[in-house]
C-alpha cells in the first residue's frame, strides 16, 4: 500500500510542476488577510507591518508549513490565534530554534546567505518589542467579523521584494534542515528505504508523521527490543519518499475515500504498469479526480453507499490491483480495522456476478429488492439504549475481508451469526403474520423494540414499503447473504450439494412438481430433502399463525418455536402439532394438507440427513420458510385446487 500511495504522490507532484519537493508540504490556509513584517532586502532591517488581503496565488511565497500545535513551525509564518502568543511561540520561537542550530545551518548555505541570516536573526531579537507591538495593534484593528489572519515576512528594496518562500532566500534550506532534524533526529541510519528501495538516510518516525496508525510508542512495537533508536528498522523511509507519502496521503483523503456502513475506507490502486506512460492507468486515475458519478449504473453498487467506482474498475484488465483500507478515526487517533491488499479487478467481477445472481431471484426481482454488502451489517450488530444499533466491526469486517480475498468461511459459523440476530428479534415478538403481496412478515413487538420508522417506500436494513415497527425482513436478508456467499464459493462444509430437478424424482402431483421447481430455482440454498422439509414446515407453521392472527389478533403458537432454537427432533414434533391446530380452527384445507404431506415426504426421503442438520441450519431454513410463505402459496396455488385461489383462503 505504501508504494501505491507514494506513486500517487509522485504523480501529483509532477502534475503541479513543483520544482522543489518542499513546495508540496506547504499548508493552504483559509485566511482572509495577511499581516506582513516588512524588512529591508540587502540589509534585513525591520521597518513596519503592513496589511493586505490573502492571495492564494502567493501561497508558495507565504510558505506556511505544518508543525506542533504549541511551538515554532518550519518558517516564521503562522496563522494568528492570539497576537502575543503567536508572536512569542511562532515567530520568536522559530528565531530561537534556528539560532540554536545556526552553526549547522550555515554549513548548508552559500556564503552570501550565511551573513544575511546572521543579520536577520539579530534584527529580529533587537526589534522584537516593536514587532510585537505593531502586530498587536494591527490585530486589534481587525477585530470583529470573520477575519482569519496570517502573519509572515517580506523583504523589500525599492520596487524589488521577496517573500520568505523565494528560493533566493535561505528559508527553504532552513525548513529542510529543521524537518530533517525533526524526523531523523531521534532514530535514523543508513539503510534501504522500504518504499523506493534505495540505500540512503532513513528514519522510522517518518511513517508516523504521515499515518497516525503507525505508532511506536510502546516497547513491544520496536524491532530490536526496547531501544527507541532502532525504530527506523520497523519502517525505514527516506526523505524523498516522506514527501511523496505525505502528498499521496492527501490525494487519497481528497479523492479516494468512501464510506461503507458509516465507516471510512480508502480505495487505493496499485498499477503494474508505468503510471505516467499508460493511457489506461491515467484514465483510471481520472475516475477519482473527476469524482465521476455512476447514475447510469447505480444498480450495480456492491458497497451500498456514495459514488462507487467499483463497477467500472471491475471491468478493467488485471493491470492494476486495489487496496481496501477500512479506518476508524477518533480525534487524533487513527486505527486500521481492516486492510485487504492486491484485490484484482477479476475478483471484483466475481463479486458483482454473485450480487447480480442474487438480484435475479424471481421474488427479489419482482420486489425490486437488491443485494449489497450492507445486508450483512444487521447480523453483526448490537442494540444499544434507545433502540440504536451499533455494528460490531471486528466480526463484520472479517467477513468483508473473506469476500474480497476469496478466502473460505465456515458455513456453520456463518449461519450461527445469521441466526443470532434472528433469534434476538424473535425473543421480542408478540405476534407474527404474513404480509400478502410481498416478502417479509408483519409483527407486533414487545415494548418499544424495533420502533424505528422509515420513509414510505424506503429500503434499509430493516425497512420496506411501510414502517419498520411492523415489517420484518431479517430472514430474507439472511438468505440473500447465504446465497451470495454460496455463489462466490467461499462457504465450507456444504453437505450433499444441489440436486437437479429430474422427472424420475417427481410424482404425478402438479403441486409437488411446482414445489420442486421452486426449490431448484434458488440454487445454493436447498442442498438436500432435509433442508426442504425444514423450509416447508416453516411455511406451514406461518400459515397456522396467519389463521390464529385472523381469528384472535394474536399468535400464541409462536411460543412453540422455542425462540427459533429448533433441532431436527423438534421438526418431527412440530408437524403433528401444526396439523392438529389447523384442524381445531377448521382450516386444514386441501392446499395446506398437501403442503403437510410434502413435508412428511421430504422427512422420509431425507432419512439420516435430517438428523445431521445442525440446530442453526434447522432454525434458518424454518424461519426462511416462514418469511417466504407466499412463495409456497404461489407454487401450490398456481396449480389450482378448491382452496388455492388466495393465500388467506377465507381466514
Three-state secondary structure call for residue 166: coil
The per-residue pLDDT for 144 is: 73
Q: Find all residues with CB under 8 Å of 465, minimum gap 6, and list them.
A: 438, 456, 457, 471
The per-residue pLDDT for 451 is: 47
Three-state secondary structure call for residue 540: helix
Tell me the C-alpha distance between 100 and 622, whole Å: 77
Please report, rounded to a whole number, the percentage of residues in the chain having pLDDT higher than 90: 38
**What is the rounded average pLDDT for all residues in the chain?**
81
Tell me the C-alpha distance between 177 and 107, whole Å: 11
- Residue 496 pLDDT > 50: no
Residue 650 near residue 589, CB atoms below 8 Å: no
The per-residue pLDDT for 498 is: 41
Which residues are paired to 267 by β-bridges? 324
Please report, rounded to a whole number, the percentage of residues in the chain having pLDDT higher than 70: 80
Does residue 641 or residue 580 have the better pLDDT?
580
Does residue 499 or residue 106 have the better pLDDT?
106
pLDDT tens digits for range 362-383: 778 777 888 999 999 999 998 8
Tell me the C-alpha distance between 413 and 565, whole Å: 15
Tell me the C-alpha distance between 353 and 367, whole Å: 20
Instruction: Please name the residue that has the C-alpha cell 456453520.
Output: 412
Average pLDDT on 49-77 reads 88
Q: Is the CA virtual torsion 322, 323, 328, 334 positive or negative?
A: negative
pLDDT tens digits for range 584-598: 999 999 889 989 999
Tell me the C-alpha distance between 398 and 7, whole Å: 29
The per-residue pLDDT for 296 is: 42
Residue 419 near residue 616, CB atoms below 8 Å: yes
47, 135, 56: which is closest to 91 by C-alpha? 135
The per-residue pLDDT for 501 is: 35
Which residues are paired to 389 by β-bridges? 383
- Residue 503 pLDDT > 60: no
637: cell is: 396455488
199: cell is: 540505500
The per-residue pLDDT for 207 is: 63
Give the confidence band of 449 by pLDDT, cuts at 50, 70, 90.
low
| Lowest pLDDT segment from 337-351, 496-510, 548-562, 612-626 | 496-510
Helix, strand, coil percent content, the chain, rounded in steps of 5: 50, 15, 35
Give the confidence band of 104 by pLDDT, cuts at 50, 70, 90.
very high
Tell me the C-alpha distance between 170 and 175, whole Å: 9
Does residue 91 or residue 320 have the better pLDDT?
91
The per-residue pLDDT for 49 is: 95
Q: How many helices (H) and strands (E) does the chain have?
A: 24, 18
The burial of 572, by beta-carbon neighbours within 10 Å (0-12 exposed, 13-18 middle, 19 or more buried), is given as middle
Give the confidence band of 537 by pLDDT, cuts at 50, 70, 90.
very high
Q: Which stretches of 460-508 are assigned E, i.e. beta strand?
A: 471-472, 491-492
| Lowest pLDDT segment from 76-90, 387-401, 519-533 | 519-533
Query: For the CA atoms of the chain, what is the radius of gyration?
Result: 34
618, 598, 633: which is closest to 531 by C-alpha? 618
Tell me the C-alpha distance between 328 and 338, whole Å: 10
Does residue 225 or residue 629 have the better pLDDT?
629
pLDDT tens digits for range 24-41: 778 888 899 999 999 999
Tell me the C-alpha distance between 377 and 478, whole Å: 10
- Residue 68 pLDDT > 90: no
Give the confidence band of 472 by pLDDT, cuts at 50, 70, 90.
confident
Length of the chain: 651
Which residues are paired to 34 by β-bridges? 52, 150
Which residues are paired to 199 by β-bridges? 192
Tell me the C-alpha distance between 534 and 529, whole Å: 9
- Residue 99 pLDDT > 90: yes
The per-residue pLDDT for 433 is: 85
The burial of 118, by beta-carbon neighbours within 10 Å (0-12 exposed, 13-18 middle, 19 or more buried), is given as middle
CB atoms within 10 A of CB 373: 22
pLDDT tens digits for range 261-317: 888 888 888 887 776 666 777 777 777 666 554 444 445 678 876 556 777 777 777
C-alpha distances in Å from residue 563, one per residue of 6, 380, 443, 484, 540: 54, 19, 15, 26, 17
- Residue 345 pLDDT > 80: yes
The model's pTM is: 0.77
- Residue 462 pLDDT > 70: no
Give the confidence band of 62 by pLDDT, cuts at 50, 70, 90.
very high
- Residue 169 pLDDT > 70: yes
The per-residue pLDDT for 504 is: 35
Residue-by-residue DSSP string for 178-202: HHHHHHHSSSEEEEE-TTT--EEEE
pLDDT tens digits for range 197-254: 889 888 776 666 677 655 555 544 445 555 555 555 667 888 888 888 888 888 888 8
Tell me the C-alpha distance between 2 and 268, whole Å: 10
Tell me the C-alpha distance between 285 and 275, whole Å: 9
Amino acid at each position: 500500500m505504501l508504494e501505491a500511495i507514494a506513486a500517487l504522490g509522485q504523480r501529483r507532484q509532477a502534475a503541479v510542476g513543483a520544482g522543489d519537493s518542499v513546495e508540496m508540504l506547504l499548508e493552504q490556509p483559509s485566511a482572509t488577510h495577511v499581516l506582513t513584517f516588512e524588512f529591508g532586502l540587502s540589509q534585513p532591517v525591520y521597518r513596519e507591518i503592513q496589511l493586505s488581503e490573502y492571495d492564494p496565488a502567493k501561497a508558495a511565497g507565504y510558505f506556511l508549513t505544518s508543525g506542533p500545535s504549541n511551538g515554532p513551525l518550519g518558517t516564521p509564518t503562522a496563522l494568528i490565534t492570539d497576537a502575543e502568543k503567536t508572536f512569542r511561540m511562532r515567530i520568536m520561537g522559530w528565531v530561537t530554534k534556528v539560532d540554536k542550530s545556526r552553526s549547522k545551518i550555515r554549513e548548508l548555505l552559500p556564503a552570501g546567505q550565511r551573513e544575511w541570516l546572521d543579520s536577520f536573526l539579530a534584527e529580529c531579537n533587537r526589534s522584537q518589542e516593536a514587532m510585537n507591538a505593531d502586530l498587536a495593534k494591527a490585530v486589534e484593528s481587525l477585530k470583529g467579523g470573520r477575519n482569519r489572519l496570517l502573519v509572515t515576512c517580506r523583504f523589500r528594496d525599492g520596487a524589488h521584494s521577496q517573500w520568505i518562500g523565494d528560493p533566493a532566500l535561505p528559508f527553504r534550506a532552513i525548513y529542510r534542515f529543521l524537518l530533517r532534524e525533526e524526523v531523523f533526529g531521534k532514530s535514523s541510519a543508513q539503510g534501504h528505504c522500504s518504499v523506493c528501495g534505495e540505500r540512503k538516510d532513513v528514519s522510522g518516525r517518518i511513517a508516523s508523521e504521515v499515518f497516525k496508525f503507525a505508532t511506536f510508542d510502546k516497547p513491544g512495537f520496536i524491532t530490536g527490543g526496547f531501544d527507541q533508536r532502532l525504530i527506523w528498522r520497523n519502517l525505514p523511509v527516506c526523505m524523498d519518499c516522506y514527501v511523496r507519502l505525505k502528498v499521496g496521503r492527501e490525494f487519497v483523503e481528497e479523492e479516494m475515500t468512501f464510506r461503507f456502513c458509516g465507516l471510512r475506507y480508502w480505495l487505493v490502486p496499485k498499477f503494474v504498469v508505468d503510471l505516467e506512460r499508460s493511457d489506461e492507468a491515467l484514465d483510471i486515475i481520472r475516475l477519482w479526480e473527476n469524482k465521476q458519478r455512476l447514475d447510469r449504473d447505480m444498480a450495480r453498487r456492491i458497497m451500498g453507499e456514495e459514488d462507487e467506482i467499483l463497477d467500472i474498475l471491475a471491468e478493467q484488465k488485471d493491470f492494476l490491483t486495489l487496496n481496501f483500507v477500512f479506518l476508524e478515526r477518533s480525534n487524533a487517533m487513527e486505527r486500521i480495522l481492516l486492510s485487504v491488499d492486491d484485490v484484482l479487478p477479476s475478483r471484483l467481477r466475481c463479486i458483482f456476478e454473485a450480487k447480480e445472481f442474487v438480484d435475479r431471484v424471481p421474488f427479489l426481482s419482482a420486489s425490486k429488492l437488491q443485494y449489497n454488502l450492507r445486508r450483512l451489517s444487521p447480523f453483526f450488530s448490537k442494540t444499544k439504549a434507545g433502540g440504536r444499533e451499533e455494528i460490531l466491526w471486528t466480526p463484520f469486517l472479517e467477513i468483508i475481508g473473506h469476500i474480497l480475498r476469496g478466502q473460505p468461511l465456515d458455513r456453520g459459523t456463518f449461519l450461527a451469526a445469521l441466526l443470532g440476530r434472528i433469534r434476538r428479534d424473535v425473543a421480542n415478538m408478540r405476534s407474527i403474520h404474513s404480509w400478502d403481496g410481498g416478502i417479509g412478515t408483519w409483527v407486533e413487538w414487545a415494548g418499544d423494540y424495533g420502533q424505528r420508522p422509515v420513509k414510505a417506500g424506503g429500503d434499509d436494513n430493516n425497512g420496506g414499503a411501510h414502517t419498520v415497527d411492523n415489517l420484518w425482513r431479517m430472514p430474507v436478508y439472511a438468505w440473500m447473504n447465504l446465497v451470495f456467499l454460496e455463489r462466490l464459493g467461499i462457504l465450507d462444509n456444504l453437505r450433499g450439494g444441489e440436486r437437479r430437478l429430474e422427472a424420475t424424482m417427481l410424482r404425478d402431483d402438479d403441486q409437488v412438481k411446482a414445489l420442486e421447481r421452486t426449490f431448484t430455482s434458488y440454487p445454493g440454498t436447498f442442498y438436500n430433502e432435509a433442508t426442504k422439509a425444514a423450509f416447508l414446515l416453516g411455511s406451514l407453521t406461518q400459515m397456522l399463525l396467519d389463521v390464529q392472527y385472523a381469528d384472535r389478533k394474536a399468535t400464541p403458537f409462536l411460543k412453540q418455536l422455542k425462540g427459533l432454537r429448533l433441532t431436527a427432533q423438534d421438526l418431527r414434533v412440530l408437524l403433528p402439532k401444526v396439523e392438529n391446530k389447523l384442524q381445531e380452527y377448521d382450516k386444514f384445507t386441501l392446499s395446506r394438507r398437501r403442503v403437510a404431506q410434502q413435508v412428511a415426504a421430504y422427512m422420509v426421503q431425507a432419512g439420516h440427513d435430517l438428523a445431521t442438520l445442525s440446530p442453526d441450519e434447522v432454525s434458518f431454513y424454518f424461519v426462511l420458510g416462514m418469511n417466504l410463505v407466499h412463495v409456497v402459496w404461489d407454487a401450490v396455488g398456481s396449480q389450482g385446487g378448491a382452496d388455492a385461489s388466495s393465500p388467506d383462503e377465507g381466514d
